[in-house]
Chains A and B, each alone.
Chain A
Amino acid sequence: DVVMTQTPHSLSVTPGQPASISCKSTETLLDRDGTTYLFWYLQKPGQPPQLLISEAFNRFSGVPDRFSGSGSGTDFTLKISRVEAEDSGVYYCMQGVRLPWTFGHGTTVEIK
């Protein structure tokens, strides 16, 4: 299985400051069709995960532009340019290049 490793496990951020989460996979997430199947989700307490970023860098509809995704191959990053209070929760990366599709263990973002 493709293992997804996220770092850090948690971070505490002051509102207005940037935040960055790393996600590394054990295999390239670039598929033969030219698509990189790396996704980012945010899960708030008591809610299902919500899609933030698809194909490594495409913001999903309605996602604020302070969220950005970057990376290629096996190394990816989610950045929040200026953290807001509503950004707290657990962030997950996920790969869809090979079954079983697998998730990272999550990064908890706390707002100071």
Chain B
Amino acid sequence: EVQLVESGGDLVQPGGSLTLSCTASGFTLSDYWMTWVRQTPGKGLEWVANINRDGSARQYLDSVKGRFTISRDNTKNSVFLQLSSLRVEDTAIYYCTRPPGRRFDYWGRGALVTVSS
């Protein structure tokens, strides 16, 4: 059974940093690109970042470029999202997803990031 489990969500002050982790099971992580999607009450669902199978290519939403970094460790079945220079508007539930053919076929349950002073 395919499972994606996010961890690392927390309350952080504006300007702060945080790293989210996604642990994958039930499939061979190195066979798939991986994606982070976030959800806020105001902006709804928003694609954040992609990473290719070996981590050599990354794609980002413009508003997070230079602040967020997606990475992966296939030997540990894990994908990461480093968030820095956090803003109030980055407050969201962050989902780890698997995008074969650009369709998000499996999702984790999400990690809540709250940016507030």
Contact = CB atoms under 8 A, between A and B. Distances in A.
What does DSSP make chain B's interface, helix, strand, loop or mixed? mixed
B59 A49 contact: no
Contacts of A54: 101, 103
Contact of B104 (A39, A47, A99, A100): A39
Interface stretch (B13-21, B40-48, B70-78, B81-89): B40-48
A47 B110 CA distance: 9
Interface in A54-112: 54-55, 60, 92, 94, 96, 99-106
Nearest to B43: A105
A12 interface: no
Interface size class of B (residues with CB under 8 A): 10 to 19
What does DSSP make chain A's interface, helix, strand, loop or mixed? loop
12 contacts: A37-B102, A39-B102, A51-B104, A54-B103, A60-B103, A92-B44, A96-B103, A100-B46, A100-B61, A101-B102, A102-B47, A104-B44
